[in-house]
C-alpha cells in the first residue's frame, strides 16, 4: 500500500504549518488596513511560491513545496478538499427563500449582469484572441466561452462578506444582490460544465449527459433535497449525539455531492456548493453547527486553498500589463453596467441600481477557482491566469468602498475602535462619580488635546442634567467636545462599585467615559447602544471585572465571549 514516508510526512506538515501561519498572518494584516483577508492569503502564497521564495531561495522552495511525488499529491488532495469544504460554507450562506422572494429583481440583475460582461468577454476572446492571451493549441470556442464566464461570474462569498461588513446583508437591496449573485454563479457553473464537456474533460461522459445530469442535479438540490434535509435534521438531532450526527451528515453529504458532480464531468465544488445551499436552507440547522463548520473551514481550509494559488505560478514572469488591464476593464465595465441596467429594468431607482451594480462587481474567489481549473486543463496560459487573479483582487477591493460611496452607507461603528490603551484604568481610585469624572478627565485631556478642566466641566454638566448609570453595573458618563476629531472612549473598572443613580439602583462597576465630536450627532448614540449590547450578558460583565490588563479587556470585547 502506498503511504507517505517519514520525509514526506515531515515536509507535508511543515509546509502546511508554515503556509497556514503565513496566510493567516497576512490575512490579518490585510484586514487591519480594511482590505479583504483573502488578499493577504493569496499574497502569502505568492511570497512562499515561485514568485518570491522560489527566486530568492530556490533550494528551500523546492524542499518545502516539491513539484512531484507523494508530498505534492497529498498537498493537492488537501487543497482540493479545502476548496470543496469552502464552497459548502459559501453555499450554506445562500438564503434560498430570499432568492425566491426577490425573484423578479434578482432575475433582471442576475441575467443582465451576466449577459453584458459575458458578451464583452466572448467577443473580445473570439475576435481578438491574441489580445486576450489565447495560446496556440487551446480550442478557440472553449477559450472564448471560458473568458466570457470568468469575466461574468460573481464572487458569492466575497459579496456576502462585503454586505455583512456594510450591515445591509438582510436588507432588500442586500438580498437582491445575493440572489442575483447566486443565479449568476449557477449559470456560470453550467456554462463551465459545457466548456469542460467541449474539452472532453468530463470523464468520458458525452456532453449532453453532463448537461442533462447537471440540470437534473441542480433542480433536485434546489427543490427535493432542501425539503428532505429539512425533514431529516430534527430526526438526526433527536436520535444521534450532538453535534456529531449533524456534522457527520453535512460533511458526508457534501463529499458525496462533490464526488457526484466531479464524476458527471463538472467540478467537485459545484456539488458541494449546492449541498451547502440545500443544507443551509433548513431552519433546523442550528446556528452553533453552522458556525462550527464555517469557522473551521473559513479560517483553516480557505486560507490554505487561497495561499496555494500563489504556489502555482510565477506572478512576475507571467504578468502582462496590457492583458491584465483589458481583462479588468471588460470585467468591471461589463458587470457594473449590466447589473445597473438590470436593476433599472426591474424598476429600481438609479442610486439603488448603481449600488447593486457595484455590489455585483466583486469577482474574486469564483473567478480564481475557475482559473485554477482552466489552468489544470491547459485551457489558459499562466499569463491569463495571473491577469484573472489580479482582476479578481482588484474588483474585490473596489466593490465595498464603491457601494459605500454610492449608497452613502456608514460602517457600523463600535466603541472598541475608539479605545486607547492609556485610557484604561484597571482599578479606579475615585470614591464617587464626581471624583471619577476628574480622574477620567486627567487621562482624557492629553488624548483629546483639551484642558482637563474643560472636559471635566462638560461631563459634570451632562451628569447633573441626568445621571448616566444605565443599570446592570454599567455607567456611561459622556459629553460632546468641540474640535475633537475622533470619538474617544476610556474604560475603568471599579469592583467596589460607584453609585451612578442607576434605574436598578446597582452601583456601577464598569464605567465608560465617552467624548464625541460636537458635529457628529449619531456617533454618541451608536457607541452607547454598542456598549449596552456588548455587556448585556452577566457572564460577560463578570469576566470583564476579572481582566488583569488592557489587552485582556480588548480580547474579551473583541471575541464577544465570556470565559
Residues identified as active-site: 478
Beta strands in 404-453 (DSSP E): 419-425
Per CB under 8 A, which region of 338-346, 353-361, 380-388, 545-553 contacts its own copies? 545-553
Cβ–Cβ < 8 Å for 210, 218: no
Please name every residue paired with 59 in a beta bridge, in sequence order, or none if there are none.
none
- Give the CA dihedral 442, 443, 447, 449, nearest 10 degrees: 0
- Under the binding rule (CB under 8 A), the answer on residue 60 touching its own copies is no
- Under the binding rule (CB under 8 A), the answer on residue 411 touching its own copies is no
CB closer to its own copies out of 258 and 379:
258
The CA distance from 18 to 127, in Å, is 44
- Under the binding rule (CB under 8 A), the answer on residue 299 touching its own copies is yes
Q: 3-class secondary structure for 206-240?
A: CHHHHHHHHHHHHHHHHCHHHHHHHHHHHHHHHHC
- Under the binding rule (CB under 8 A), the answer on residue 434 touching its own copies is no
Shortest approach of its own copies to residue 206 CB, angstroms? Answer: 15
Cβ–Cβ < 8 Å for 182, 156: yes
Binders in 33-52 for its own copies, by CB under 8 A: 37
Shortest approach of its own copies to residue 251 CB, angstroms? Answer: 5
CB closer to its own copies out of 78 and 430:
78
CB closer to its own copies out of 27 and 113:
27
Shortest approach of its own copies to residue 472 CB, angstroms? Answer: 16
Q: Which of 74, 115, 119, 409 binds its own copies (CB under 8 A)?
A: 74
Q: Which of 97, 223, 291, 518 binds its own copies (CB under 8 A)?
A: 291
Shortest approach of its own copies to residue 62 CB, angstroms? Answer: 12
- Under the binding rule (CB under 8 A), the answer on residue 308 touching its own copies is no
CB atoms near residue 376 (< 10 Å): 13
CB closer to its own copies out of 312 and 433:
312
Q: Which of 201, 392, 450, 511 binds its own copies (CB under 8 A)?
A: 201
- Under the binding rule (CB under 8 A), the answer on residue 58 touching its own copies is no
Q: Which of 33, 137, 239, 465 binds its own copies (CB under 8 A)?
A: 239
Site map 371..410 versus its own copies, x via CB under 8 A:
-----x----------------------------------
The CA distance from 316 to 314, in Å, is 6
Q: Within 13 Å of residue 469, how many CA atoms lie on the same side as its CB?
A: 20
CB closer to its own copies out of 19 and 181:
19
Gyration radius of the chain's alpha carbons: 27
Q: Which of 54, 129, 245, 507 binds its own copies (CB under 8 A)?
A: 245
The residues, ordered by sequence, that sit 6+ positions from 215 with a Cβ below 8 Å of its Cβ are 190
Q: Which of 203, 349, 401, 497 binds its own copies (CB under 8 A)?
A: 203
The CA distance from 312 to 428, in Å, is 56
Q: 3-class secondary structure for 260-326?
A: HHHHHCCCHHHHHHHHHHHHHCCCCCCHHHHHHHHHHHHHHHHHHHHHHHHHHCCCCCCCCHHHHHH
Cβ–Cβ < 8 Å for 64, 12: no
Shortest approach of its own copies to residue 3 CB, angstroms? Answer: 5
The CA distance from 370 to 170, in Å, is 28
Ramachandran angles phi, psi of 380, nearest 5°: -125, 160
Q: Which of 57, 62, 77, 97 binds its own copies (CB under 8 A)?
A: 77
CB closer to its own copies out of 71 and 116:
71
Binders in 322-351 for its own copies, by CB under 8 A: none
- Under the binding rule (CB under 8 A), the answer on residue 235 touching its own copies is yes
- Under the binding rule (CB under 8 A), the answer on residue 102 touching its own copies is no
- Under the binding rule (CB under 8 A), the answer on residue 252 touching its own copies is yes
CB closer to its own copies out of 226 and 355:
226
- Under the binding rule (CB under 8 A), the answer on residue 244 touching its own copies is yes
Q: Is 493 helix (H, G, I), strand (E, B) or coil?
A: strand
What is the residue whose three cell numbers read 489552468? 375
Binders in 15-34 for its own copies, by CB under 8 A: 16-18, 20-21, 23-25, 27-28, 31-32
- Under the binding rule (CB under 8 A), the answer on residue 312 touching its own copies is yes
Shortest approach of its own copies to residue 109 CB, angstroms? Answer: 30
Per CB under 8 A, which region of 168-176, 230-238, 447-455, 477-485 contacts its own copies? 230-238
CB atoms near residue 19 (< 10 Å): 26
Site map 253..272 versus its own copies, x via CB under 8 A:
xxxx-xx--xx----x----
- Angstrom distances, CA of residue 215 to CA of 194, 227, 519: 11, 18, 57
CB closer to its own copies out of 59 and 67:
67
Binders in 449-508 for its own copies, by CB under 8 A: none
Q: Which of 64, 49, 76 is nearest to 7 (CA)?
A: 64
- Under the binding rule (CB under 8 A), the answer on residue 72 touching its own copies is yes
Size of residue set near its own copies by CB under 8 A: 96
Per CB under 8 A, which region of 131-139, 172-180, 293-301, 331-339 contacts its own copies? 293-301
Cell of 294: 464555517
Shortest approach of its own copies to residue 415 CB, angstroms? Answer: 14
3-state percent breakdown (helix, strand, coil) of the chain, nearest 5 = 70, 5, 25
Please name every residue paired with 511 in a beta bridge, in sequence order, or none if there are none.
475, 492
Cβ–Cβ < 8 Å for 254, 262: no
Element (H, E) at 525: helix 521-534
The CA distance from 257 to 235, in Å, is 21
- Under the binding rule (CB under 8 A), the answer on residue 292 touching its own copies is yes
Amino acid at each position: 500500500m502506498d503511504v507517505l514516508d517519514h520525509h514526506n510526512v515531515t515536509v507535508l506538515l511543515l509546509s502546511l504549518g508554515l503556509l497556514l501561519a503565513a496566510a493567516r498572518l497576512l490575512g490579518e494584516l490585510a484586514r487591519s488596513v480594511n482590505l479583504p483577508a483573502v488578499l493577504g492569503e493569496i499574497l502569502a502564497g505568492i511570497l512562499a511560491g515561485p514568485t518570491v521564495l522560489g527566486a530568492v531561495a530556490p533550494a528551500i522552495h523546492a524542499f518545502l513545496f516539491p513539484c512531484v511525488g507523494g508530498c505534492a499529491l497529498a498537498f493537492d488532495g488537501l487543497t482540493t478538499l479545502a476548496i470543496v469544504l469552502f464552497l459548502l460554507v459559501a453555499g450554506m450562506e445562500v438564503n434560498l427563500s430570499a432568492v425566491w422572494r426577490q425573484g423578479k429583481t434578482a432575475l433582471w440583475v442576475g441575467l443582465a449582469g451576466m449577459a453584458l460582461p459575458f458578451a464583452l468577454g466572448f467577443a473580445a476572446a473570439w475576435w481578438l484572441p491574441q489580445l486576450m492571451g489565447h495560446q496556440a493549441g487551446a480550442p478557440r470556442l472553449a477559450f472564448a466561452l471560458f473568458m466570457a464566464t470568468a469575466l461574468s461570474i460573481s464572487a458569492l462569498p466575497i459579496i456576502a462578506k462585503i454586505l455583512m461588513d456594510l450591515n445591509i446583508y438582510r436588507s432588500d437591496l442586500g438580498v437582491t444582490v445575493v440572489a442575483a449573485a447566486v443565479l449568476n454563479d449557477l449559470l456560470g457553473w453550467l456554462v463551465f460544465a459545457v466548456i469542460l464537456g467541449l474539452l472532453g474533460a468530463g470523464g468520458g461522459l458525452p456532453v449532453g449527459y453532463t448537461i442533462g445530469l447537471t440540470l437534473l442535479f441542480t433542480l433536485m438540490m434546489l427543490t427535493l433535497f432542501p425539503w428532505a434535509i429539512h425533514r431529516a435534521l430534527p430526526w438526526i438531532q433527536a436520535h444521534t449525539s450532538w453535534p456529531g450526527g449533524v456534522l457527520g451528515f453535512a460533511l458526508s453529504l457534501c463529499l458525496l455531492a462533490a464526488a457526484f458532480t466531479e464524476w458527471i464531468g463538472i467540478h467537485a465544488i459545484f456539488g458541494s456548493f449546492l449541498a451547502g445551499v440545500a443544507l443551509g436552507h433548513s431552519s433546523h440547522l442550528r446556528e452553533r453547527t453552522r458556525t462550527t463548520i464555517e469557522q473551521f473551514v473559513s479560517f483553516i481550509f480557505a486560507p490554505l486553498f487561497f495561499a496555494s494559488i500563489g504556489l502555482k505560478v510565477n506572478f512576475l514572469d507571467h504578468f502582462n500589463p496590457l492583458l491584465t488591464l483589458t481583462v479588468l476593464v471588460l470585467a468591471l465595465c461589463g458587470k457594473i453596467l449590466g447589473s445597473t441596467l438590470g436593476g433599472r429594468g426591474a424598476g429600481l431607482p438609479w442610486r439603488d441600481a448603481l449600488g447593486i451594480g457595484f455590489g455585483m462587481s466583486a469577482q474574486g474567489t469564483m473567478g480564481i477557482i475557475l482559473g485554477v481549473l482552466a489552468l489544470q486543463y491547459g485551457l489558459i496560459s499562466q499569463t491569463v491566469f495571473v491577469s484573472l487573479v489580479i482582476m479578481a483582487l482588484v474588483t474585490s477591493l473596489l466593490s465595498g468602498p464603491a457601494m459605500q460611496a454610492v449608497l452613502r452607507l456608514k460602517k457600523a461603528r463600535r466603541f472598541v475602535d475608539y479605545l486607547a490603551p492609556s485610557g484604561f484604568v484597571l482599578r479606579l481610585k475615585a470614591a464617587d462619580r464626581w471624583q471619577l469624572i476628574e480622574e477620567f478627565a486627567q487621562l482624557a485631556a492629553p488624548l483629546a488635546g483639551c484642558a482637563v478642566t474643560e472636559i471635566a466641566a462638560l461631563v459634570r454638566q451632562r451628569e447633573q442634567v441626568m445621571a448616566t448609570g444605565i443599570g446592570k453595573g454599567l455607567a456611561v458618563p459622556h459629553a460632546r467636545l468641540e474640535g475633537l476629531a475622533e470619538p474617544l472612549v476610556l474604560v475603568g473598572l471599579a469592583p467596589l462599585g460607584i453609585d451612578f443613580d442607576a434605574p436598578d439602583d446597582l452601583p456601577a462597576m464598569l464605567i465608560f467615559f465617552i467624548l464625541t465630536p460636537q458635529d457628529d450627532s449619531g456617533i454618541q448614540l451608536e457607541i452607547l447602544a454598542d456598549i449596552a449590547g456588548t455587556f448585556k450578558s452577566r457572564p460577560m460583565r463578570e469576566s470583564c471585572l476579572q481582566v488583569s490588563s488592557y489587552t485582556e479587556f480588548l480580547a474579551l470585547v473583541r471575541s464577544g465571549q465570556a470565559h
